[in-house]
């Protein structure tokens, strides 16, 4: 079989294709986006007619994947870590229903928050749902584990989670592929009541999940992805999970660590392997990307036993991602310092692209709201969140997908008028519509500015689910059509935009202002594509 140079995300996509999936479901989110994008480009996926269009949000993606599993086929659902919060309801309950066709949930965490609002550790979700989960340590393992996850899912009739982090998701390596499996035939679950979570049935299903816990543990104890690696110097034993294992080996020539090591890539935690390490060594050091998930479990509440070092006792930072140098420090290995950068080096934060329509909207909004102040402008997740930075300083919040509308409503409920929400078209489709309905039902005096650039821009310009239908959707949700206004955000329209915004800010019920202009990056990309097509 051939080798391919792939991003960690892409190895998972290739693993899912070769693992015989019939569908992939996802909403774009860094660092998970490239999984779906790879499947969408894949020739095999096209030939095999694998379902591969974007979902409106992570919850709808998770549910559609569960439906495909119900129908007997293998499905994968992919999201960034905070996306699993949105999909948490179907995710948690899928552990109770179990699966029919294999179901794998891939979650890409973003420690250090390169492109995120928090750095939550999805392993807690795996433990919370009490299902088996994986944490591959490199690109090859990511491919092999994706294949294995489907087998395990069908063997134990349970969804399986794969957790990766940014550095694995976005790093390339040549990966060895293996034979592709055929897709499953459609079939309904053998037990017709399996997916009916009425209390009486759910209690039985839950007992069945609990009865499987020991099987999951045994699978992890015997997994080839978990290893006890002998070492002569037993003054220290090291536990390293996921990519932290690579940072450990990086610190020793030829990857030969003198201490015994337990490498972990499959959960629940393999107790026997860890017990052996604990018994044979004097102290433990836990290296893990994310929260102190393993460290806390080894410690227990009081840690009466041997010293256990890691993120909790300051051997490693409590937050942020690891790297080879932080691990060297925890191992008390001296490392070479490079050169010092001069102190005149300035920060270069991300910014809105030149020509972006959001710039024109923020300029107009700042003028229209001058007399009230920008504290009353609530916003959301997307490129336009950069409007919080200078020179705009236009918005005062960014919390979670869709929160601009509902938070503006809360601000209005508290007695502040006017209150404004600024939200992108894709975020509106993802989680804004339900909040709009709340506001309409309460006649909340808020102005919702929808930045409609026909793209999920921040993640690379994927298509949006509401293309060309935003005004219709607002009308159907009950917004007075006279107060659904539109303009084209261009500098030459500045005065008109300010006027429209002023009028709607004064309206004492829900108003929607739609700023309609295509994302400049998507526009440029499409122009280039057209040129290429003409040339070829």
Partner 1 sequence: MKKDIVIAGVGGQGILTVAAAIGLAAMEEGYSIKQSEVHGMSQRGGAVISHLRISDKEIYSDLIPEGTADLILGVEPMEAVRYLSFLKSDGWLITNSKPFINIPDYPEHEKLLSFINFLPHSIIVDAEDIAKKIKAPKSSNIVMVGAASPFLDIKKENLEKAIELLFKSKGENIVKSNIEALNAGLEAVSHKV
Question: In angstroms, what is the minimal distance from the CB of 98 to partner 1?
Answer: 35
Q: Does 31 bind partner 1 (CB under 8 A)?
A: yes
Q: Which of 347, 371, 414, 482 binds partner 1 (CB under 8 A)?
A: 347
Which DSSP letter does residue 4 get?
Answer: E
Q: Does 211 bind partner 1 (CB under 8 A)?
A: no
- Residue linked to tokens 């298509």: 463
Question: In angstroms, what is the minimal distance from the CB of 331 to partner 1?
Answer: 12
What are the angstrom distances between the C-alpha of 443 and each of 206, 409, 410, 425, 447?
A: 43, 10, 12, 22, 11
Q: Does 342 bind partner 1 (CB under 8 A)?
A: yes
Q: Does 177 bind partner 1 (CB under 8 A)?
A: no
The residues, any chain, with a CB within 8 Å of residue 92's CB and separated by 6 or more, are: 128, 129
The region of 12-20, 217-225, 285-293, 347-355 touching partner 1 under the rule CB under 8 A is 347-355
Q: Which of residues 365-384 bind partner 1 (CB under 8 A)?
A: 383
State the Cα–Cα distance between residues 78 and 26, nearest whole angstrom.
5
Q: Which of residues 108-137 bind partner 1 (CB under 8 A)?
A: 114-115
Q: Does 504 bind partner 1 (CB under 8 A)?
A: no
State the Cα–Cα distance between residues 406 and 122, nearest whole angstrom.
26
Q: Which of residues 305-324 bind partner 1 (CB under 8 A)?
A: 323-324
Q: Does 141 bind partner 1 (CB under 8 A)?
A: no
State the Cα–Cα distance between residues 261 and 239, nearest whole angstrom.
6
Find, among 395, 512, 398, 361, the residue nearest to 444 by Cα.
512
The region of 99-107, 168-176, 474-482, 496-504 touching partner 1 under the rule CB under 8 A is 168-176
Is residue 71 within 8 A of residue 184, CB to CB? The reply is no
Residue with smaller CB distance to partner 1, 184 or 394: 394
Q: Which of residues 398-457 bind partner 1 (CB under 8 A)?
A: none
Q: Does 34 bind partner 1 (CB under 8 A)?
A: yes
Q: Does 338 bind partner 1 (CB under 8 A)?
A: yes
Q: Which of 41, 151, 155, 172 binds partner 1 (CB under 8 A)?
A: 172
Question: In angstroms, what is the minimal distance from the CB of 150 to partner 1?
Answer: 26
The residues, any chain, with a CB within 8 Å of residue 216's CB and separated by 6 or more, are: 130, 131, 132, 156, 158, 268
Per-position DSSP letters for 13-76, written without gaps between them: HHHHHHTTEEEEEE---TTTHHHHHHHHH-HHHHHTT-B-PPPSSHHHHHHHHHHHHHTT-EEE
Residue with smaller CB distance to partner 1, 60 or 323: 323
Find, among 434, 401, 422, the residue nearest to 79 by Cα.
401
Residue with smaller CB distance to partner 1, 414 or 534: 534
Question: In angstroms, what is the minimal distance from the CB of 423 to partner 1?
Answer: 18
Find, among 506, 485, 507, the residue nearest to 496 by Cα.
485
Q: Which of 5, 210, 476, 488 binds partner 1 (CB under 8 A)?
A: 5
Residue with smaller CB distance to partner 1, 192 or 390: 390
State the Cα–Cα distance between residues 35 and 11, nearest whole angstrom.
8
Q: Does 329 bind partner 1 (CB under 8 A)?
A: no
Reading across the β-sheet that carries 377-378, which strands appear in turn? Answer: 377-378, 419-424, 446-452, 511-516, 484-487
Q: Which of 11, 22, 33, 454 binds partner 1 (CB under 8 A)?
A: 33
Q: Which of 345, 371, 373, 492 binds partner 1 (CB under 8 A)?
A: 345
Is residue 106 within 8 A of residue 162, CB to CB? The reply is yes
Q: Does 336 bind partner 1 (CB under 8 A)?
A: yes
Residues in binding contact with partner 1, number by CB under 8 A: 53
Q: Does 38 bind partner 1 (CB under 8 A)?
A: no
Question: In angstroms, what is the minimal distance from the CB of 70 to partner 1?
Answer: 33
Question: In angstroms, what is the minimal distance from the CB of 68 to partner 1?
Answer: 28
- Cβ of 43: how many Cβ atoms within 10 Å? 8
Task: Count Cβ atoms within 10 A of the Cβ of residue 533 and give its class: 0-12 exposed, 13-18 middle, 19 or more buried.
Answer: exposed
Per-position DSSP letters for 232-295, written without gaps between them: S-TT-EEEEETTHHHHHHHTSGGG--SS-EEEE-EES--HHHHHHHHHH-S-EEEE-SSSSHHH
Question: In angstroms, what is the minimal distance from the CB of 348 to partner 1?
Answer: 4
Q: Which of 64, 328, 388, 437 binds partner 1 (CB under 8 A)?
A: 328
Q: Which of 454, 459, 462, 465 binds partner 1 (CB under 8 A)?
A: 459
Q: Which of residues 242-271 bind partner 1 (CB under 8 A)?
A: 243, 246-247, 249-251, 254-255
Question: In angstroms, what is the minimal distance from the CB of 168 to partner 1?
Answer: 7
Which DSSP letter does residue 462 get?
Answer: B
Q: Does 489 bind partner 1 (CB under 8 A)?
A: no
The residues, any chain, with a CB within 8 Å of residue 253's CB and separated by 6 or more, are: none
Question: In angstroms, what is the minimal distance from the CB of 122 to partner 1?
Answer: 18
Convert 205-214 to b/e letters by CB count within 10 Å (16 or more is b).
beeebeebee
Question: In angstroms, what is the minimal distance from the CB of 139 to partner 1?
Answer: 8
Residue with smaller CB distance to partner 1, 302 or 339: 339
The region of 53-61, 127-135, 339-347, 505-513 touching partner 1 under the rule CB under 8 A is 339-347
Q: Site residues (CB under 8 A) for partner 1?
A: 5, 7, 30-31, 33-34, 114-115, 167-168, 170-174, 243, 246-247, 249-251, 254-255, 323-325, 328, 335-342, 344-353, 383, 386, 458-460, 532, 535-536
């Amino acid at each position: 079989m051939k080798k391919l140079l792939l991003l960690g995300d892409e190895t998972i996509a290739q693993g899912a294709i070769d693992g015989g999936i019939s569908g992939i479901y996802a909403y774009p989110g860094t660092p998970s986006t490239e999984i779906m994008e790879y499947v969408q480009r894949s020739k095999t996926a096209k030939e095999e007619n694998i379902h591969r269009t974007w979902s409106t949000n992570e919850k709808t993606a998770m549910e559609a994947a569960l439906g495909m599993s119900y129908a007997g086929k293998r499905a994968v659902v992919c999201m960034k870590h905070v996306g699993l919060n949105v999909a948490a309801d179907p995710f948690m309950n899928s552990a109770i229903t179990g699966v029919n066709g294999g179901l794998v949930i891939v979650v890409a965490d973003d420690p250090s928050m390169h492109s995120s609002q928090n750095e939550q550790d999805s392993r807690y979700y795996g433990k919370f749902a009490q299902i088996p989960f994986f944490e591959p340590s490199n690109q090859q393992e990511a491919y092999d584990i994706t294949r294995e996850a489907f087998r395990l899912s069908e063997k134990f009739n349970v969804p399986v989670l794969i957790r990766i982090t940014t550095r694995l998701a976005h790093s390339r390596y040549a990966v060895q592929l293996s034979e592709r499996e055929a897709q499953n035939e459609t079939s309904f679950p053998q037990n017709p009541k399996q997916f009916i979570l009425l209390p009486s049935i759910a209690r039985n299903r839950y007992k069945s999940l609990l009865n499987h816990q020991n099987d999951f543990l045994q699978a992890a104890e015997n997994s080839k992805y978990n290893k006890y690696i002998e070492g002569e110097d037993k003054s220290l034993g090291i536990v390293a999970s996921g990519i932290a294992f690579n940072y450990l080996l990086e610190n020793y020539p030829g990857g030969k660590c003198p201490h015994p090591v337990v490498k972990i890539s499959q959960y629940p935690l393999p107790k026997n392997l860890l017990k052996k390490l604990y018994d044979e060594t004097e102290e433990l050091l836990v290296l893990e990307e994310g929260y102190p998930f393993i460290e806390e479990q080894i410690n227990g509440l009081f840690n009466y036993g041997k010293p256990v070092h890691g993120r909790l006792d300051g051997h490693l930072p409590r937050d942020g991602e690891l790297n080879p140098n932080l691990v060297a420090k925890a191992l008390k290995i001296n490392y070479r310092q490079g050169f010092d950068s001069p102190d005149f080096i300035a920060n270069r934060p991300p910014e809105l692209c030149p020509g972006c329509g959001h710039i024109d909207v923020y300029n107009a909004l700042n003028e229209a709201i001058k007399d009230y102040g920008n504290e009353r402008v609530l916003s959301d997740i997307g490129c336009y969140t950069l409007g919080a930075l200078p020179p705009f300083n236009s918005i005062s919040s960014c919390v979670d997908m869709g929160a601009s509308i509902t938070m503006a409503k809360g601000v209005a409920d508290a007695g502040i008028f006017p209150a404004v929400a600024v939200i992108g078209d894709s975020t509106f489709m993802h989680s804004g519509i339900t909040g709009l309905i709340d506001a309409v039902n309460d006649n909340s005096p808020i102005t919702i500015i929808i930045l409609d650039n026909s793209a999920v821009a921040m993640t690379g310009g994927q298509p949006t689910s509401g293309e060309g239908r935003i005004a219709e959707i607002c009308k159907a949700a009950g917004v007075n059509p006279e107060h659904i206004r539109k303009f084209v955000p261009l500098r030459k329209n500045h005065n008109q935009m300010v006027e429209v915004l002023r009028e709607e800010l004064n309206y004492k019920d829900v108003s929607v202002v739609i700023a309609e202009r295509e994302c400049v990056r998507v526009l440029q990309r499409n122009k280039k594509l057209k040129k290429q097509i003409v040339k070829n």
